[in-house]
Amino acid sequence: MTMPAITGHGVFTPELSISNDELVAAFNAYADRWNAENADAIAAGKAKAMTHSNADFIFSASGIESRYVLDKDGVLDPARMFPHLPARPDEAPGHMAEMAVDACTKALDMAGRAGDEIDLVICAASNHERAYPAVAIEIQQLLGAGGFAFDMNVACSSATFGIQAAADMIRAGSVKRALVVCPEICSAHLEWRDRDCHFIFGDVCTAVVVEAASEAKGDHWLIHSTRCATQFSNNIRNNDGFLRRTHDQMEDRRDMQFMQNGRKVFKEVLPMVSAHILDHLDATGWQADDLNRLWLHQANKTMNDFIGKKVLGRVPEEGEQPNILQDYANTSSAGSIIAFSKHSGDMAKGAKGVICSFGAGYSVGSVLVERA
């Protein structure tokens, strides 16, 4: 059977970033403005005053120090508090496709491939900017790729689910070479006016080339095994969608943006992910001690510390479980791939690791790889 491999990877990082201090200053100005406008209702007990955010709390609670965004001014404007991304004509590349081409080009360059050598493009992301035509098909056209393309949404787990789909098709012989690309504009579905979550997300795009190991032109990562699992939960949810215009009272509905019950997510997802990785290792004949590195979904440092300790049976040593969320924040499906892209080049031939992403659904996907 054909052994699939990751032969290239790339990351598009926006030019603009927002520090915790900048974010908190904007949020607190918005809170003061809202409290002043609703002073009578607050005094009458009909509304609750907004409380200030705090940069030190954000870092201690999440490990996040800053985040990259496509638009900074709109997010930091207390009168707006969401990004400004002008609509583009249909003939122009979409926002997601544009960032995807950048990441894909970097991945193709690493793999030593051209766009016309790709016969599958999977756009795997937590949101897509339109219903159709598929963003993946637009990316396919812009890259000059052949074959076919489709969009995939498994929220934060989209990258690993996409890699499994690509690897399975390569094993089966239905495609020769694939791109799995994750353009995440998380700033557009984040409620920046909600103190509980306004610091969580950032924008980015990642891409990986997946092809038969025998076709690799240089260093690559063998994909020994993949595994995906889902379990329905409302604890991470976004109700936006094409039925939005059919609903009454749609003015600024909070549930049309990212929502989560953080306490329940911690309690339920962490055991699910830890067990998933350990079961996957066991089914593949690997031991936890075989893992030289864990590239985990970048949502929260405390979550990753828990998972790493549970999987390895000890506190991970420095470098074993790299975090990038201090700079990027939570970038949904792209986070584990950023960690892999930035913290895998130093590993020797024969080194092993797991790429694992998890999130809404609930969903969890893992990819066991070996440097070759």
**Which residues are designated catalytic?**
156
CB 185 within 8 Å of CB 129: yes
231-241: b (≥16 Cβ within 10 Å) or e: eebebbebeee
Letter string b/e over residues 98-122, b meaning 16 or more CB atoms within 10 A of that residue's CB? bbbbbbbbbbbebbebebebbbbbb
Distance CA 160, CA 132 (A): 23
Q: How far is CA 10 from CA 58, 106, 367, in A?
A: 29, 5, 18
Task: Collect all residues with Cβ–Cβ distance below 8 Å to 362 and sequence separation of at least 6.
Answer: 230, 231, 232, 233, 235, 236, 268, 269, 272
Dist CA 151 CA 137 (whole Å): 8
59 to 53, 54, 192, 198, 361: CA distances (angstroms): 12, 9, 17, 13, 26
- Which long-range CB contacts under 8 A does 234-240 form with residues at least 24 apart? 235/260, 235/261, 235/264, 235/265, 235/268, 235/362, 236/155, 236/260, 236/261, 236/265, 236/359, 236/360, 236/361, 236/362, 237/360, 238/127, 238/189, 238/360, 240/189
Would you say 331 and 64 are in contact if contact means Cβ atoms under 8 Å apart?
no
Cβ atoms within 10 Å, residue 168: 13
